[in-house]
Structure 1
């Protein structure tokens, strides 16, 4: 149990010979001090936590008692003091008057959510916001970044498992989002840690999603002639993503197709998370042109499906259509829009396309355990050859 009391430290003498009166914070057999503005000229003027022996002593004692009571109220508001060491307890009660500053976990998370929404990454923003709600529910208040330690991280994981009843996969996602906010705060120099909060916690690896489909199943989708508009859109967008190197939907819908021989773009997902612009440049294969021309808006050059709701709504609308189309076509594998990207990479790998070329096509970072590829420059011509090889395998 943490304790507070007024104290004077004999060894800490000011140059003028006076002694500052301090609030001693005792916790877990440690003591830390908070300096007040009050001082005494001699150690004899302080006995049993009281100022004595000069005319203003009673006034000093009233003001010091008010300070001590204020700190005690702050200490009492800490829900789980056993989670913190003595230094962190001191920091909490001395900084709680500025708890709404930009140095809380929630403040950094909220700011990041706004940035993601501005970058049209609303789905990821939703994940960050959801994790922030869970984290604040666990801590029962806005918590300073400096308060977060390995014990809190481990107990948050237990909270997600035992109180929120989340699956291990979802727990891994939430813990990864937590680390993202902490790392963002460290990059912005809002906090420094002697021991990183994730020092003793390993985020479980996400289970590989089996979303790729076979060449035969992809051909069934390509050659289908659906009657419903949503099924036509679903067929066309899966195939267009596949033809254009597994492009993500959010990036596909931003491209101006008035130029029909090539595309250039930077993945929205990595635009503000990686150093330098990871620009992808691809020639448009002949298979993609009929689909582009079917849906291209002549004024904007962008694909236009006459769907007047948000991107998130369209994304859900599309994936419902894809699931429905696959079911009508008798495809047993799970199929979503992302299947085009997964299948493109899988089919290319099976055809012997080098991994670094596939990574360029889909805009994925080259893996650090293959440093030789840092010296290679993958250009459009390599990607074009790879895409042509993959598409020819469908004929």
Structure 2
């Protein structure tokens, strides 16, 4: 039989600056204790060993009544389990059960509040921003900031999708890719909400429905995000009026010279070692992924010059002192690239285009195999994970294929290319010895 008692902790880390400590309800069950916090705080010396608040505390009778109500609620919900099921539960399981079923207005779960809590705990800013935009969109559609999870139905989501297709948040119809992003983010948050509030082992199913099961999410079709050799040359060889554009040009070229490295990874690069850049893609460096690998890229002469330009007080110090983080850099660089694209009358180029452009030129112009392109881009292969474990990484494949691509934009006549390439490599060796 579980027992319940009000207690307070008096150790320094539990006492607030005003001298009060949270009143907790101790749950004792199967020779173990767990603690459930309450909304009440009191100086530790005013709570008696019996669990009652001392009469020396103002309004002690009312506080004792409130605490008694909480304990009775927990005891009642524990008894509902039945003695047999309760006996099989650990104290930790009982605590979790009581937390869920004893919440105020137990039948109501605010999806927006839950989602914002998830967003605040999401470490990847890009993912957090993805969730945030989707939550703002669903609040716009419902016309309120509190949405009970029961209100999120297949019918409502299909209406939401139709509204996005017809007008969108800014009175502009959205394309399938944008709608796909909204709905996938909401589905992810809804599934997290179900995982949090449902517990199959305890028989707690507070969210039984799946509104996304009958929702047709538009397929996301990747758009062309690459430019040709001449367009890369125009970006590289042009001088621009504003510093933002010139930095945009240089960052884009650094991304390209590093075989389409992600801009976040460029910003977070560590200084080179033995003339090489080593990093692990942040996109694959996640808790669930155990099959990522370190990429090692030789610093070619073209890249060396840009590194020197932006490393006046330490490696890439110019970028790191100018921008608070990689997201601020990406935003500014993309603004510069937008102006560059307009001046050259080409597609709106962003940092992502460097990666797609490198891959496209490698395949279509330099004749690099698709398998080698995947390898150079740091893609994790689900089909060859065991082979990846046993085969040593040969980074000369990186060096050879990257040089093949970079040679495509050497602005020389065919008979001059060989001597130019040799000259660049001599310069590279001098800079790295």
TM-score, with structure 1 as normaliser: 0.62
Which residue, out of 326, 337, 342, partners 2:351? Answer: 337
In 2, the alpha carbon distance for the partners of 1:331 and 1:322 equals 12
Preserved contact between residue 295 and residue 378 of structure 2 (Cα < 8 Å): no
Q: Which residue of 2 aligns with 1:276?
A: 290
Query: How many residue pairs were aligned?
Result: 292
Aligned-residue RMSD, C-alpha: 3.4
Preserved contact between residue 266 and residue 277 of structure 1 (Cα < 8 Å): no
Shift of the 358–155 alpha-carbon distance from structure 1 to 2, 3 Å rule, reads: same
Whether 1:151 and 2:155 are equivalent positions in the alignment is yes
Q: Which residue of 2 aligns with 1:355?
A: 370
Q: Which residue of 2 aligns with 1:12?
A: none
Q: Which residue of 2 aligns with 1:20?
A: none
* Cα deviation digits, residues 355-379 of structure 1 (max 9, x gap): 343234334444x6xx3x3444283
Whether 1:320 and 2:335 are equivalent positions in the alignment is yes
Q: Which residue of 1 aligns with 2:82?
A: none
In 2, the alpha carbon distance for the partners of 1:187 and 1:273 equals 18
* Cα deviation digits, residues 205-250 of structure 1 (max 9, x gap): 2243233100121122223344643333122111110111211111
Shift of the 315–152 alpha-carbon distance from structure 1 to 2, 3 Å rule, reads: same
Q: Shift of the alpha carbon at 1:149?
A: 4.5
1:1-395 superposed matches below 5 A: 97-98=105-106, 104-116=110-122, 118-119=123-124, 121=125, 123-139=126-142, 140=144, 142-143=146-147, 148-161=152-165, 164=169, 165=171, 166-169=173-176, 170-185=178-193, 190=198, 196-226=210-240, 228-259=242-273, 261-272=275-286, 274-276=288-290, 278-286=292-300, 287-299=302-314, 301-305=315-319, 306-308=321-323, 311-328=326-343, 330-350=344-364, 351-366=366-381, 371=383, 373-377=384-388, 379=393, 380-395=395-410
Shift of the 141–200 alpha-carbon distance from structure 1 to 2, 3 Å rule, reads: same
Q: Shift of the alpha carbon at 1:294?
A: 1.1
* Cα deviation digits, residues 157-211 of structure 1 (max 9, x gap): 2344457454133222211211222344466675777764322323212243233
Task: State the SS of the aligned residue for 1:97.
Answer: coil
Preserved contact between residue 212 and residue 343 of structure 1 (Cα < 8 Å): yes
For structure 2, list consecutive stretches of 5 or more residues without a partner in the other structure: 1-100, 200-204, 411-433
Shift of the 167–327 alpha-carbon distance from structure 1 to 2, 3 Å rule, reads: closer
Preserved contact between residue 150 and residue 200 of structure 1 (Cα < 8 Å): yes
Preserved contact between residue 180 and residue 220 of structure 2 (Cα < 8 Å): yes
Q: Shift of the alpha carbon at 1:340?
A: 0.7
Task: State the SS of the aligned residue for 2:278.
Answer: strand
Task: State the SS of the aligned residue for 2:105.
Answer: helix
Preserved contact between residue 244 and residue 282 of structure 1 (Cα < 8 Å): no
For structure 1, list consecutive stretches of 5 or more residues without a partner in the other structure: 1-92
In 2, the alpha carbon distance for the partners of 1:144 and 1:271 equals 35
Preserved contact between residue 277 and residue 298 of structure 2 (Cα < 8 Å): yes
Preserved contact between residue 99 and residue 143 of structure 1 (Cα < 8 Å): no
Shift of the 260–181 alpha-carbon distance from structure 1 to 2, 3 Å rule, reads: farther
Q: Shift of the alpha carbon at 1:97?
A: 1.0
Preserved contact between residue 280 and residue 361 of structure 1 (Cα < 8 Å): no
